[in-house]
Amino acid sequence: MTQRKEQLTQQILRVSNRRARNDLLKMMKPVESALSNLDRESVECRRLNRTTSRYQDLDLAAKHMINTLEQYLTFACLIGD
């Protein structure tokens, strides 16, 4: 999922419309926060040797956020300047 985030960031930086790029970068901050929370919870999962329900919820939320941001990115690319 970190790889998807990095690819998404690179694609956002290539958006030609400055306003759309700035908006997308602002939308990226909650995604980074969700992935950080997911990483913290993964440490707890390794400690317990099992997947916690909180980890599953965080994983689902992070995937949803990334998918939504990818859709907004596609829309921004279609709009152009």
Neighbour-count burial of 27, counting CB atoms closer than 10 A to its CB (0-12 exposed, 13-18 middle, 19+ buried): middle
For residue 4, give both structure tokens: 């998807």
pLDDT 10s per residue in the chain (81 long)?
A: 889 999 999 999 999 999 999 999 999 999 999 999 999 999 999 999 999 999 999 999 999 999 999 999 999 998 876
- Between CA 66 and CA 9 the distance in angstroms is 11
Please give the pLDDT value at position 1: 81
- Between CA 69 and CA 30 the distance in angstroms is 10
For residue 32, give both structure tokens: 């980074």
Please give the pLDDT value at position 81: 62
Please give the pLDDT value at position 38: 96
Domain parsing of the chain, residue ranges? 20-79
Q: Do 35 and 2 touch, CB atoms closer than 8 A?
A: yes
